[in-house]
Structure 1
């Protein structure tokens, strides 16, 4: 039972998914704080926030209303996505893939020592039969 559970957990995609959810949730709060403390004020240098606090280019609409394209929220989402993706990949996915490759290489070495020699392919067998027939016809 424990062996089956271990195989299930070490399959990779389960661990990747669990790690991505947990780290993504925790790390997104940090990224949102950084973006609101650094990126949003930089945008406010170029664009004045409107009455609702939205920051971005303001365009006058067809009926004379002011329309703001809020860049702060968009940039927050993009930066959060890439930051979380990079952290999850570098901290969890890459080491797990390396660990799997090392484990597979060790398993390959172990199998090679105990494995029987590979059987010839169909093409190799046909070549051998052809050569034998040619030798018999020469006699």
Structure 2
């Protein structure tokens, strides 16, 4: 029971639960923007009542390509709204907070060392130790 209690009280579980609840609430906002603003604009641009009803007939089969196109457009719109409404402002906010706290912009992360570079460094260090 102690292990379970530790697991539940660990911050990650609570953070995840809060993220799910906030994500569900934010979904309503994003869907409202997409359904209420962006989809009507796209329908007006393409002069279509509903993109999702577009089909292509091949022989006796109707392929619902409109559903796929609508899903792709919906995904791209949601991704754009999330990026420009959440991610970009939060990144700017974090940068500004870092500058306020430290007085200078955050230094860029160093490039990751590749396996080959790391092995080359180890080889050179071993050679230097042997020559002493």
TM-score, length-normalised on structure 2? 0.45
Report the TM-score, using the length of structure 1 for normalisation: 0.44
